[in-house]
Structure 1
Amino acid sequence: MTDLNLTPNVTQKASKPQWLVSTQNLVLFLLKNPTSAYGLFVLALLIILAIIGPLLATHDPYIQDLRNALQAPSAEHYFGTDELGRDIYSRLLYGTRISLTIIGIVSVVVGPIGLTIGTVAGYLGGKVDTVLMRITDIFLSFPSLILSLAFVAALGPSLYNAIIAISLTAWPPIARLARAETLTFRQTDYIAAARLQGASSFRIIWRSIVPMCLPSVIIRLTLNMAVVILTAAGLGFLGLGAQPPLPEWGAMIATGRRYMIDSWWVVTFPGIAIFCVSLGFNLLGDGLRDALDPKQLNRR
């Protein structure tokens, strides 16, 4: 694979991170690799379908038609119908909005929380580091799905409570990663120079350390999206996530599992959607690691 040139030229400021590249170069780099290109395609397709999904839908995803229940895929119903006669194809299209909502909210919440806790703990050290990391260890000591189930059980079953539960369980790995990166960066010469110039701890963390930790955090967030999708699907499958009649993919599998022997399409197409999106985010994360992580580039 052709390496992405991340070395700054002589006209760039010395403080500019080496990993900082234009969005256009980043996209071109990802498109050169078929696997990362697939991940980028899945993300773009998910966004497009979330926007224009209602225009592509052939039926109302909520209207029941018991006379056409469990109809096999046909020209009228591309992916067949479920046990209530609802068009599965249309429900999958509307379900992309739910999946994108989950991904977006979790990313916006988890990224800043994990990055802040990790960088503060790693830079300040001492008692602050001990307290923050012990809290992180408590969250890490439980499997994420089990902890999510506990939070949803306490908050009550709903889509947004499921998003809150997933967010509360997804930040600790980000915090651990940011702390490890910060422990490396805080020993560098430019951080020492900033201290000698009288920069406050907040300014050093925000202006010098956070930008250097962003590549690893973005990569980890992208890789975590597959886990987020699977966790949301698992909560929906157990009836603790999105509630009927919302067309969430995990909930669609849960309601159709009783008919999967004779009506395979009821669970097959939502399962394929979950698989493709999860695989896409994993492959996109691998591509971003090659593009944004200087350590990966230096090993090649």
Structure 2
Amino acid sequence: MTEPKKTQNLRDWLVDENVSSGRQALAQSWYRGFVGLASSPIAFLGLVIVVLLVLAATFAPWLATHDPYRQDLAQTLLPPSGAHWMGTDDLGRDVWSRLIYGSRTTLYITMLVTVIVAPIGFLVGAISGYVGGWLDTVLMRLTDIFLAFPSLVLALAFSAALGPGIGNAVLAIALTIWPPVARLARAETLTVRNSDYLASARLQGAGLGRVLWWHLVPICLPSIIVRLTLNMASVILTAAGLGFLGLGAQPPVAEWGAMAAAGRQYLIDAWWLTTFPGAAILLVSLAFNLLGDGLRDVLDPRNG
């Protein structure tokens, strides 16, 4: 540790040292993550599939060969061919084009749930672990209540109460995903709550907001990123389940679960209606799991 400059008092020096150490830890975690991810074939495969999903959603108008919402009753239930790569559905719509546009819906739900869950889970867990006492007891018992129910069952209950639609599905899924993130953030906070650098920050007058942002975020962020990445597979499966049951995206919106549900009555004669959406759900869920496992390995400080 370097000596404080003469023109800088001890308080400023301590705060600067604490802030820079948190930033350095975060930067080292990211650097180690990118290097380790490139060296892990399984994790890199998951990353490639996720990138392809993002590209498909971004360039859907150029990748789709037909209008995904245009009905043609003269071309219903056509098998895969050169004109329709994945066949057509019961309304004559091109399955390939609807699958591509369905990636937009899947990515939208996944990203929106993640954006909602990350700050809620972190704040609940970090405040619970840092403050402790009765607040910790109340927040963790609330978390236990949500964890007592299977996430899919709880999402179905919330969706049925809120009504069908993408917005309500996102809210229902978010309400079932945040408890594991809160538990993880609390565990990470408890490991450093009594550390010297947090004690010095408190002595220098740092409030709860400063401690959370400058000291606990760098500590919790790598683990939360891994948890959220693994949760994305669960989000995709839950969203597909809600769509399959008619509680998610509503017609004519292209969504993989709803596409699979629409084709179940033609499962024998038109296998492509359920096979291709189901394969897309399986492949993307597997990709997020592989990516999450790889990130967990490379962001673990014990592997550094």
Normalised to the residue count of structure 2, the TM-score between the two structures is 0.90
1:95 Cα deviation after fit: 0.5
2:63 pairs with 1:56: yes
State the partner residue of 1:32.
Answer: 39
Check 1:238–1:212 CA distance in 2 against 1; reply closer, same or farther (3 A cut): same
State the partner residue of 2:151.
Answer: 144
State the partner residue of 1:259.
Answer: 266
2:109 pairs with 1:102: yes
State the partner residue of 2:251.
Answer: 244
- Greater Cα radius of gyration, structure 1 or 2: 2
Q: Which amino acid aligns with 1:180?
A: A
Counterpart secondary structure, 1:80: coil
Counterpart secondary structure, 2:27: coil
In 2: Cα distance, 1:290 partner to 1:181 partner:
17
State the partner residue of 2:5.
Answer: none
Q: Which amino acid aligns with 1:103?
A: T
1:84 maps to which of 81, 91, 94 = 91
Q: Which amino acid aligns with 1:208?
A: H
Q: Which amino acid aligns with 2:207?
A: S
State the partner residue of 2:80.
Answer: 73
Counterpart secondary structure, 2:101: helix
Alignment of 1:1-300 (within 5 A): 13-21=20-28, 26-295=33-302, 297=303
State the partner residue of 2:13.
Answer: none
In 2: Cα distance, 1:252 partner to 1:79 partner:
13
Between stretches 59-68 and 248-257, larger displacement belongs to 59-68
CA offset digits 1:208-233 (Å, max 9, x no partner)? 11220011000000000000000000
Specify every segment of 5 or more residues in structure 2 that has no aligned partner in the other structure, as ranges.
1-18
Check 1:247–1:104 CA distance in 2 against 1; reply closer, same or farther (3 A cut): same
Cα pair 1:226 1:277 within 8 Å, conserved: yes
In 1: Cα distance, 2:40 partner to 2:52 partner:
18
1:204 Cα deviation after fit: 1.6
Cα pair 1:17 1:212 within 8 Å, conserved: no
Check 1:197–1:288 CA distance in 2 against 1; reply closer, same or farther (3 A cut): same
Cα pair 2:22 2:218 within 8 Å, conserved: no
Cα pair 1:19 1:293 within 8 Å, conserved: no
Q: Which amino acid aligns with 1:202?
A: G
In 2: Cα distance, 1:22 partner to 1:117 partner:
23
1:25 Cα deviation after fit: 6.2
Percentage of pairs with the same residue: 60
Q: Which amino acid aligns with 1:250?
A: G
1:153 Cα deviation after fit: 1.0
Counterpart secondary structure, 1:85: coil
In 2: Cα distance, 1:23 partner to 1:215 partner:
8
In 2: Cα distance, 1:24 partner to 1:234 partner:
37
In 2: Cα distance, 1:267 partner to 1:118 partner:
40
Q: Which amino acid aligns with 1:78?
A: W
1:14 Cα deviation after fit: 3.4
Cα pair 2:84 2:94 within 8 Å, conserved: yes
Q: Which amino acid aligns with 1:215?
A: P
Cα pair 1:121 1:129 within 8 Å, conserved: yes
In 1: Cα distance, 2:76 partner to 2:236 partner:
28
Counterpart secondary structure, 1:79: coil
1:56 Cα deviation after fit: 1.3
Q: Which amino acid aligns with 1:178?
A: A
Counterpart secondary structure, 1:94: helix
Counterpart secondary structure, 2:59: helix
Q: Which amino acid aligns with 1:29?
A: G
Normalised to the residue count of structure 1, the TM-score between the two structures is 0.91
Counterpart secondary structure, 1:18: helix
Counterpart secondary structure, 1:287: helix
Counterpart secondary structure, 1:263: coil
CA offset digits 1:43-87 (Å, max 9, x no partner)? 211111111111111111111112211111000000011111110
In 2: Cα distance, 1:262 partner to 1:186 partner:
61
1:185 Cα deviation after fit: 1.1
State the partner residue of 1:8.
Answer: none
1:172 Cα deviation after fit: 0.6
